[in-house]
């Protein structure tokens, strides 16, 4: 099984990641990972950090001569924020000493991990919570999961995504953007990424992109923030990943957990699951066509490629729903943890919206889940062995 762990604080020296279980023989280069890290910085409405973080991965183990060796892969990403002149972060995040003279943060932001995190860990300073709960951590997650993406690509399985809504601007139904996804099954899901990445909000429609940018500008002016919706698509998926036989083997459940594990993601939809709740069964379920006794095509894919917790061979469609960013320029009510007094919130450098970035993180975590499900079904210690088993 593939598993990974991340470590590191947003303003500490670096993020660290370890990926274990990657088969041998997968071709991996540093630019392949850096390319995905750069995509995580995409999006209109990002805060100042996007301008100076370069995110170039350092690899310490598990890869030799541009191929995985089968052992654990250890990686590091430096935080440029920590090294910035006069940033003060080396003092604020010092490993040694007693923190004498470092300001304590005592005003928790509503909607963030601040208050509950400080209560849970018995802290009189919110800084440790701010720094570890921050979505800076997703940079290392993207690095770790990029390896899974490369592995899948070798097997003809591709992952792509696009944003379908930011705040009040977006599509009301998937039929409105279906024309942008025509031919995606044969072209592969990654074929939509260049167009999505070229849009400042990762949307496939030029008019909506412009509308979204105006919306973000107006909301920023009011000191507020926005959430939104994105869609992750996986093509080339073999039939039978995941299983109906046990709750924790269901592929849809595993994808749901992966999406909800990303900071600020509050909803997941598989296929047209949310709309389906208010429609009739005859419109929702995908008819099965005559087949060659091995493959049976579907006339539509409202199930999003998963039935009974298993991939059915159609593209997998997962939508993620992100809440508005909790850090606001416009103050909200909070209480000072030190005095108990009511206070306005303090502002910490922040994005207005991060839905475009979240969509790229979602691609990454979905890739990791699919790669795991592939390994579970087909097994194998090397790419060649898995290729032979899967017949690709
Ligand atoms: C890519 C990405 C970027 C984010 N950027 C910010 C940010 O700049 N400021 C902020 O307050 N929250 C940001 N968040 C959201 C917080 O990390 C998240 O709301 C917080 O950790 C609390 O967790 P919860 O929303 O899952 O309950 C971001 C989330 C993602 C996925």
Name which residue sits closest to atom 22 of ligand 1, judged by CA. Answer: 112
Q: How far are the Cα atoms of 11, 59, 119, 142 from residue 135, in angstroms, in the given order?
A: 12, 21, 20, 11
Residue 349: pLDDT over 90: no
Please give the number of the atom of ligand 1 that sits closest to the Cα of 134. Answer: 17
pLDDT at position 363 is 98
Residue 86: pLDDT over 90: no
Name which residue sits closest to atom 13 of ligand 1, judged by CA. Answer: 325
Output the 3-class SS for 85-100: CCCCHHHHCCCCCCCC
Please give the number of the atom of ligand 1 that sits closest to the Cα of 133. Answer: 21
Question: What pLDDT band is residue 99 in, cutting at 50, 70 and 90?
Answer: very high
Please give the number of the atom of ligand 1 that sits closest to the Cα of 47. Answer: 8
CB 350 near ligand 1, within 6 Å: yes
Span 157-174, pLDDT tens digits: 999 999 999 999 999 999
Distance in Å, CA 320 to ligand 1 centroid: 14
Q: Domain coordinates of the chain in residue numbers?
A: 3-390
Q: What percent of the chain lies above the pLDDT cut of 70?
A: 100
pLDDT at position 186 is 96
Q: Which CATH architecture has domain 3-390?
A: 4-Layer Sandwich (3.60)
CB 357 near ligand 1, within 6 Å: yes
Span 282-291, pLDDT tens digits: 999 999 999 9
Dump the DSSP string for 168-231: TEE-SSGGGTGGGGTTHHHH-GGGGHHHHHHSTT--S-HHHHHHHHHHHHHHHHTT----EEEE
Q: Name the 3-class secondary structure at 332.
A: coil
pLDDT at position 275 is 96
CB 134 near ligand 1, within 6 Å: yes
Residue 348: pLDDT over 80: no
Span 185-226, pLDDT tens digits: 999 999 999 999 999 999 999 999 999 999 999 999 999 999
Residue 295: pLDDT over 90: no
Q: Name the 3-class secondary structure at 326.
A: coil
95-109, 312-326, 339-353: which has the minimum mean pLDDT?
339-353
């Amino acid at each position: 099984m593939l598993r990974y762990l991340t470590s590191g604080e947003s303003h500490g020296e670096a993020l660290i990641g370890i990926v274990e279980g990657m088969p041998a023989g997968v071709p991996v280069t540093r630019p392949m990972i850096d390319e995905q890290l750069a995509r995580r910085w995409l999006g209109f409405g990002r805060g100042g950090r996007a301008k100076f973080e370069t995110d170039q991965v350092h690899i310490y183990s598990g890869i030799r001569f541009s191929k995985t060796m089968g052992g654990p892969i250890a990686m590091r990403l430096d935080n440029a924020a920590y090294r910035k002149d006069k940033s003060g972060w080396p003092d604020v995040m010092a490993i040694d000493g007693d923190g004498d003279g470092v300001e304590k943060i005592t005003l928790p932001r509503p909607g963030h991990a601040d208050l509950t995190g400080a209560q849970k860990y018995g802290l009189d300073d919110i800084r440790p919570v701010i720094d570890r709960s921050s979505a800076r951590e997703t940079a290392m997650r993207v690095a770790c999961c990029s390896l899974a993406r490369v592995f899948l690509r070798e097997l003809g399985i591709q992952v792509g995504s696009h944003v379908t809504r930011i705040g009040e601007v977006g599509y009301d139904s998937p039929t409105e953007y279906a024309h942008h996804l025509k031919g995606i099954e044969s072209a592969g899901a990654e074929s939509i990424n260049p167009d999505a990445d070229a849009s400042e909000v990762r949307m496939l429609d030029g008019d909506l992109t412009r509308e979204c940018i105006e919306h973000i500008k107006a909301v920023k002016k009011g000191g507020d923030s926005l959430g939104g919706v994105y869609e992750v698509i996986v093509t080339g998926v073999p039939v039978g990943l995941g299983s109906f036989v046990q709750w924790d083997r269901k592929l849809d459940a595993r994808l749901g957990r992966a999406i909800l594990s990303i900071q600020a993601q509050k909803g997941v939809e598989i296929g047209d699951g949310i709309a389906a709740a208010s429609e009739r069964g005859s419109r929702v379920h995908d008819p099965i066509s005559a087949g060659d006794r091995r493959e049976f095509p579907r006339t539509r894919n409202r199930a999003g490629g998963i039935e009974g917790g298993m991939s059915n061979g159609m593209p997998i469609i997962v939508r993620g729903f992100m809440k508005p960013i909790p850090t606001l320029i416009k103050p909200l009510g909070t209480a000072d943890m030190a005095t108990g007094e009511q206070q306005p919130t303090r502002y910490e450098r922040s994005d207005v919206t991060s839905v475009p970035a979240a969509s790229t993180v979602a691609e990454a975590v979905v890739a990791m889940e699919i790669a795991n499900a592939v390994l579970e079904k087909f097994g194998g210690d090397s790419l060649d062995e898995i290729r032979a088993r899967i017949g690709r």
